[in-house]
Amino acid sequence: MRALRIGTRRSALARAQAEAVRAALDAEQVDAVVVPLSTAGDEGAAPDGPAGAKGLWTDAIAQALRDGEIDLAVHSAKDLPAHDDEDLVIGAVPARADPRDVLVVRDDGEWLRPGIRVGTSSMRRRAQVLAAQPEAVVVPLTGNVDTRLRKVGDGLVDAAILAAAGLDRLGITSSHATPLGVDLMLPAPGQGALAVQCRAEARDLVAVLELLDHRASRLALETERALVRALGGDCALPLGALAVARGDTLRLAARVCTPDGDRVLDAAAQTSEPGRAVRMVARQLRDAGADEILERARSTP
């Protein structure tokens, strides 16, 4: 049997994630090689609005999978559109890394003080920063992890918000990095999780990927994605969600904010049935006005 071809983006983080999957397959005595691919996001394509970011990092890789150029695709789960394609499946969700966001500051002791310049291009992060500190100045910040950290070091911003899992997978540690509790910053749906995709028709491969699947992580990811679908959202909107499965119990927390942070809607449910948790949380958010907030955010340039 030839080595499986694992498709991924060319960024250092994406390649580290793909390499982690390759190593996990190797531990199961399955040969695989990593195949870096270019995507619209890597090539600098800009979305027309929040909804335009959907698929920015994943479409080219999904097409390569369909065309048979690769056998597997490794994605940051938060980048995947919430609706699955019929011909592709998430064959494995490995054990989830830390889903939290991290505040990386330039100076020791820096925090969300009035006037602090915080770099992020995420509407979700921007909204929650302004909700926590209305006098913060949120500055658009793009680029890979190294680029954003360098901009903090160069003083272009006082702080930046990044995913804890990304820093960990790149082996980056900093005494100036503080994890943000979910009470202050609820992560993006799927943050910290990897999704290993393959063609639905490749039954033998689906069976192989079951070796890498982590039940609690998959259940949490599926629940968060179901909530995004229920609210008609996507990865670019000011929607945070985190599901945690322990034994037979699942807890789902979610937050919708206006982009300026003036309104924050929180909802949570704990139950043994994930679908019920999704329905309860979606209903709580809708009753509080989430549909209007998300619709306005979708139309924000």
Q: Write out the catalytic residue numbers.
A: 79
Q: 205, 199 in Cβ contact below 8 A?
A: yes
User: What's the half-sphere exposure (Cβ side, CA atoms, 13 Å) at 200?
Assistant: 6
Q: Which residue has the tokens 């996507």?
A: 234
**C-alpha torsion 39→171→126→243, nearest 10:** 90
Q: Both ends of the chain: CA-CA distance in Å?
A: 49
Hey, what are 112's tokens?
């969300």
* Contacts with 115 (C-beta within 8 Å, 6 or more apart), sequence order: 135, 136, 137
Are 36 and 9 a contacting pair, CB within 8 Å? yes
Q: Which residues of 169-201 are buried (b: 16+ CB within 10 A; e: fewer)?
A: bbebeeebbeebebeebbbbbbbbbbbbbbbee
